[in-house]
Structure 1
Amino acid sequence: MTSVEPVAAASAPATLRERKKAATRLALHEAAFALVEAHGLEATTVDQICEAADVSQRTFFNYFPSKSAAVLGLPQVVLTDDALARFRAARGELVPALCELVGHLADESRNTRRIKQLVAERPELGPAFTQWTSSLRETFFELARERAVSDESARTAVALVVSAFALTVHTPVEDDVDASEPAAVRLLRSVDRIVGARTAPMAEPRGER
């Protein structure tokens, strides 16, 4: 059984409860982002974030495990029925199909560009991002097993795509070829960069230059 929680397709109207949850999550993210951008991570507290978003600490921890996670506001690992159906019906290669799935999550994030800036400017946010990618890897492994010829190929493909996602996030904003491109296209390009690095030559030893 997959650990991915399917949700209604994006075109279906959200319930009032779903809209309220989405609004609360966004308010917490926006408050955390603004406070850390202004004062830094160390000087920002969960209490300050809660006060700015007008919620309790208990509510905060229902949405985010830490203030770092709230600042990044990474998308929850939740896929629509449509995205799951496309993956399960896809033909061809596993890695591009996984790029479509992971890209779906990245496209759902409203603040990918400024998240990249924060990760680059504030290394202390790195552990929260690493924890999220670890969760992402295990979630997508369960899905990949449905379509892979073996568990080994599923785990390898997922590791490659999740690494590509991390590389995409850590690529400086000014180096983006086209930030308006679908995330899946950028992910596949990062996969090619990772694979290409396998045969990249080494520079001459410093003493021989």
Structure 2
Amino acid sequence: MKDEDEAPLYLDDHERLKALAHPMRRRMLSHLNVHGPATSTTLGELLGAKTGTTSYHLRQLEKYGFIEEIPERSTGRERWWRKADMPRDIRTPNFRDVAPESRAVLEEFYRIGMAEDRALMDRFGAAYLRDPDWAKASRGFGRMTKEGFDAFFEEYIALLSKYSYRADDAPPDARPLYIRMFALPADDT
């Protein structure tokens, strides 16, 4: 489980955010996160991409610290990659606070993320029918002040961290789970 003093990772660097605002990189990172280490060739086969393309994107993810090579598994031209040990709490800057040249990158980051989330929502019904003990959902409505909403969000992140394991520390019965929380004003139509 998480160290209580682990600080969030802020994606406030334009180039680092840009590295995650690419659909193939996001799919590669997701695969490494869920399934563990892989090679460029393996990822290319899974994603329908050429090895040169996956190698380039893996190097971009490595450059900004999202993945790392596994030297003890890599031999010759075959390089093995894994997700880097990073905080689970990854945050983006407030749209109003980013430089104008970064706004398009931040918009793309969220566009890709929301497309991923819609795909997960489309899979939810079948996942629930397969195994309702591992597919849970909640819909809520509340009235909060800005300060209360900020506190709610921080407690949600703390709760998520409290019950989550890193892949290397997870007990045998732990499963990787997609967990999403988003909120938006109900009166902003």
Q: Same fold (TM over 0.5)?
A: no
Between Structure 1 and Structure 2, the one with more helix by share is: 1
Which has a greater percent of strand?
2
Structure with the bigger RCO (C-alpha within 8 Å, sep 6+) is: 2
Normalising by structure 1, we get a TM-score of 0.28
